Amino acid sequence: MKTVQKNEWHQLSKETLKSNLVELREKLRSLRFLSVSGKLKNVCETKELRKNIARLLTILKQKEQ
């Protein structure tokens, strides 16, 4: 997934947001495996991914209303 600014997420369609959400969750899962094995160099990346996932979920909820 290319880097998208937070304010640009509001203009994306629901389908695009859902596909981005799946990609972010997969990336988070792979980073967790690296973290457990001790090979993860940037531990702050998992925190940022979790925040982005929460942001996407919030935007999806807002679009459903």
The predicted structure's pLDDT at residue 2: 54
Residue 5 covered by a domain: no
Overall number of domains in the chain: 1
**Over residues 35-47, mean pLDDT:** 90
Q: Are 53 and 28 in contact (CB under 8 A)?
A: yes
Q: Which domain holds residue 32?
A: 13-64
Residue 48 has pLDDT above 90, yes or no: yes
Residue 21 covered by a domain: yes
Q: CA 6, CA 52: separation in Å to the nearest integer?
A: 9
**Over residues 6-30, mean pLDDT:** 91
Burial class (CB in 10 A: 0-12, 13-18, 19+), 5: exposed
Q: What is the CATH number of the domain that holds 19?
A: 1.10.287
**Over residues 41-64, mean pLDDT:** 93
Residue 41 has pLDDT above 70, yes or no: yes
Q: CA 50, CA 8: separation in Å to the nearest integer?
A: 18
